[in-house]
Amino acid sequence: MLFSKYATPAATLRYSPQYLASLTFSRVDTLDYPQIKKSGLIQGWCFSNEAPATASGTLIQPGELIPCLQDLLPISQEMEQAFDHGSRSVDVILNDDSQMSGVRYHFSNIYLLIAINNYRSAIDGVHSLYHHIIANNLLSSNDLKRFGDLRIDTPICSFQVTAFALWKLACLLGETWLEEDIVNALLEIIYFHEAMQSSTDPLAIILPTSFAMTWNSSSNKPPDTIVIISISFAITFGPFPLPPFRL
């Protein structure tokens, strides 16, 4: 048997990558997502030739201690080589606030734990975004139902210069860090909003972040009509032809 087949969690398992990608906004709102422990939970580990015989080694149990990604990566990086030498699981010593315990993980369970870590920020973002929309009545009841039924990894639609999963809109709430794709979507909304409000060409528009990055890496000097504000933003001063459309 190949390592990839042995170590890949079944798609139907709770917290598998496929399970997490299929979650909807409304489903996440009622999901009791596992809490991830700080680094240092795993105190020691060694590979074993025996496959786990209990559910605790192959499934994520309610209330189970979840190691952080930093603790899991050293194990995952050596699993394939260990598999080639006959290993089928890993014995782990856990230290939770000085309470020591041992568990034997199937290799596929290690990847379930990693998936839980990888989706933690998405799940937190979905909670914040969904509750913000409800608390501020941003959608009608029908639209909220439709939004709640969308998968959290659904790509945002109707944009030309960017694409990202809907859950990433949560970064707009705190505005402590905006991803480039989100900024580009905002810039595109501004551009088309101005286009719809005016019958003449605007004197200035904000271009996608990729435009500024291209000029930054180019040896050519940008035209005098273009001002590079930073690596992320550029403004060009008219005239700039707009696409021929009207509502």
Can you name the residues that pair with 174 across neighbouring β-strands?
Answer: none
Per-residue pLDDT, averaged over 216-233, amounts to 48
DSSP state of 155: B
DSSP lists the bridge partners of residue 227 as 235
Q: How far apart are the first and last CA of the chain?
A: 60
Q: What is the pLDDT of residue 245?
A: 35
Evaluate if residue 18 carries a pLDDT over 70: yes
List, as one string, the DSSP characters of 181-220.
HHHHHHHHHHHHHHHHH-SS--SEEEPPHHHHHHHHH-SS
Specify the higher pLDDT residue, 84 or 206: 84
HEC-encoded secondary structure of 3-49: HHHHHCCCCCCCCCHHHHHCCEHHHHHCCCCCCECCCCCEEEEEEEC
What residues does each domain of the chain span?
3-120
Of the candidates 209, 197, 212, which has an alpha carbon nearest to the alpha carbon of residue 242?
197
pLDDT band, very low/low/confident/very high, at 107 (cuts 50, 70, 90): very high
**Cis status, amide bond into 239, omega within 30 of 0:** yes
Q: What is the pLDDT of residues 49-73, one digit of tens each?
A: 998 877 767 789 888 999 999 999 9
Supply the pLDDT for residue 169: 85
pLDDT over 90, % of the chain? 53
- pLDDT for 225 beyond 60: no
pLDDT at 229: 41
Q: What pLDDT does 160 receive?
A: 66
Return the closest-CA partner of residue 15 out of 106, 85, 118. 118
Please state whether 137 falls in left (phi above 0), alpha (psi between -120 and 50) or beta.
left
- Please provide residue 143's backbone torsions phi and psi, each rounded to the nearest 5 degrees: -70, -35
Q: Pick 107 or 171 by higher pLDDT.
A: 107
Rounded-to-integer distance, Cα 34 and Cα 10, Å: 19
Write out the two tokens for 126: 């979905």
Report the C-alpha gap between 202 and 191 in whole angstroms. Answer: 9
